Structure 1
Amino acid sequence: MSIERHKFKVLAFGMIAEKIQSNEIELEGIPSTDVLKGYLFQQYPALKDTKFGIAVNRKQVSGDSPIPNGAEIALLPPFSGG
């Protein structure tokens, strides 16, 4: 009996995509946005000094949020108001 791995897609925009050198990555086994940030900072050290927002299924989240299986995660660069 095999256990389905927790898979999801991460979309990156603007300078975030430049720093990870990709617009989209697929990940699995990461249960929450805090764990995701830790993973991203480890894999892409250039992100540590970059502010960015996280959206889960097109809803911006703050703090630690669960990542559902099959979710679409967006890494959003800071927005300038005007």
Structure 2
Amino acid sequence: MSDEDMYRVYVLTCHFNALFEIFNKYDMYQSLRALGSRAGIEMIDHFKDGHFQSSVLRRTYERAMEACRRKAAEDSIPAALTA
């Protein structure tokens, strides 16, 4: 895996974890359910499974991801990937 690909995985896991936390913080499952929407039902398992896999990736590749994050901060990874 290239440094750019590892950085992409790092960014993806950061954003997925943030989405999972927002979903839980605002109790969106129950909120959507109360509105009669099935969206929460359809999303909850994806969020749980995605968060778990994201956490596994972060633990497994923590050092490599941190190295790529530092490289990105030093502008060695193209700016388009950091946006």
Larger helix fraction of residues: 2
Does TM-score exceed 0.5, indicating one fold?
no
TM-score, normalising length: structure 2: 0.22
